[in-house]
Structure 1
Amino acid sequence: MSAIDATGASLGDGVDRFIRYLRDERRYAPSTVEHYAHALARLGDFAEAQALRHWRDLKPDQLQSLLADEHRVKRYSPSTLRGLASAWRSFFRFLARDGEVNSNPAIGLRSPKVQRKLPQVLDADEMAVLVDVPGDDAESIRDRALLELLYSSGLRVAELCGVRWRDLDPGDGMLRVTGKGSKTRIVPVGAKALVALAALREQDLPRDDDPLVRGARGAPLTPNGVRARLKKRANEQGVWKRVYPHLMRHSCASHLLESSGDLRAVQELLGHADIGTTQIYTHLDFQHLAKVYDAAHPRARRKA
Structure 2
Amino acid sequence: MHTDLDAYFQHLRSERQVSPHTLDGYRRDLLKVADYCERQALRQWSGLKAHHLRQLIAELHRKGQSSRSLARLLSSVRGLYRYLNQEGLCQHDPATGLSAPKGERRLPRLLDTDRAMQLLDGGVEDDFIAHRDQAMLELFYSSGLRLSELVGLNLDQLDLAAGLVRVLGKGNKVRELPVGRKAREALQAWLPLRALAHPADGAVFIGQQGRRLGARAVQLRVRQAGVRELGQHLHPHMLRHSFASHLLESSQDLRSVQELLGHADIGTTQIYTHLDFQHLAKVYDQAHPRAKRKQDTDT
* Superposed pair shares fold, TM > 0.5: yes
- Of the structure 1 ranges 98-107 and 207-216, higher mean CA displacement relative to structure 2 is found in 207-216
CA separation in 1, counterparts of 2:129 and 2:2?
A: 48
What is the identity, as a one-letter code, of the residue corresponding to 1:213?
A: F
Task: Tell me if 1:233 matches 2:222.
Answer: no
Runs of 4+ in 1 over 6 A off after TM superposition: none
SS in 1 for 2:209: helix
Task: Tell me if 1:124 matches 2:116.
Answer: no
Alignment correspondent of 1:105: 94
Alignment correspondent of 2:246: 255
Aligned pair count reads 292
> Structure 1's 144 and 45: CA in aligned 2 closer, same or farther, altered over 3 A?
closer
SS in 1 for 2:245: helix
Task: Tell me if 1:214 matches 2:226.
Answer: no
CA separation in 2, counterparts of 1:158 and 1:194?
A: 20
Judge conservation of contact 1:166–1:208 (CA < 8 Å) in 2: no
- Any residues of structure 2 matched to 1:289-300 within 5 Å, and which? 289-300=280-291
SS in 2 for 1:119: coil
- Of the structure 1 ranges 46-55 and 80-89, higher mean CA displacement relative to structure 2 is found in 46-55
Alignment correspondent of 2:19: 29
**Structure 2, gaps ≥5 residues long:** none
> Structure 1's 229 and 105: CA in aligned 2 closer, same or farther, altered over 3 A?
same
> Structure 1's 69 and 204: CA in aligned 2 closer, same or farther, altered over 3 A?
closer
What is the identity, as a one-letter code, of the residue corresponding to 1:154?
A: G
Task: Tell me if 1:89 matches 2:89.
Answer: no
Cα deviation for residue 208 of structure 1 reads 11
What is the identity, as a one-letter code, of the residue corresponding to 1:161?
A: V
Alignment correspondent of 1:5: none
SS in 2 for 1:218: coil
What is the identity, as a one-letter code, of the residue corresponding to 1:85?
A: L
Judge conservation of contact 2:166–2:176 (CA < 8 Å) in 1: yes
Task: Tell me if 1:177 matches 2:167.
Answer: yes
Alignment correspondent of 1:287: 278
* C-alpha RMSD of the superposition: 1.9
Deviations 1:235-294 (A, max 9, x none): 222x02211100100000010000001111111111111111111011111010111111
Alignment correspondent of 1:166: 156
Cα deviation for residue 223 of structure 1 reads 1.2
Q: Percent of aligned pairs with the same residue?
A: 48
Task: Tell me if 1:189 matches 2:179.
Answer: yes
Alignment correspondent of 1:7: none
Judge conservation of contact 1:165–1:207 (CA < 8 Å) in 2: no
**Structure 1, gaps ≥5 residues long:** 1-10
CA separation in 1, counterparts of 2:27 and 2:293?
A: 53
- Of the structure 1 ranges 46-55 and 151-160, higher mean CA displacement relative to structure 2 is found in 46-55
Judge conservation of contact 2:199–2:210 (CA < 8 Å) in 1: no
What is the identity, as a one-letter code, of the residue corresponding to 2:267?
A: G
CA separation in 2, counterparts of 1:158 and 1:127?
A: 21
- TM-score normalised to structure 1 length: 0.90
SS in 1 for 2:205: coil
CA separation in 2, counterparts of 1:14 and 1:262?
A: 45
**Residue among 67, 77, 88 paired with 1:78:** 67
Cα deviation for residue 196 of structure 1 reads 0.9
Cα deviation for residue 111 of structure 1 reads 2.0
Cα deviation for residue 90 of structure 1 reads 1.3
- Of the structure 1 ranges 281-290 and 97-106, higher mean CA displacement relative to structure 2 is found in 97-106
- Any residues of structure 2 matched to 1:113-152 within 5 Å, and which? 113-132=102-121, 133-152=123-142
Judge conservation of contact 2:166–2:175 (CA < 8 Å) in 1: yes
What is the identity, as a one-letter code, of the residue corresponding to 2:175?
A: R
Alignment correspondent of 1:66: 56
Cα deviation for residue 53 of structure 1 reads 4.4
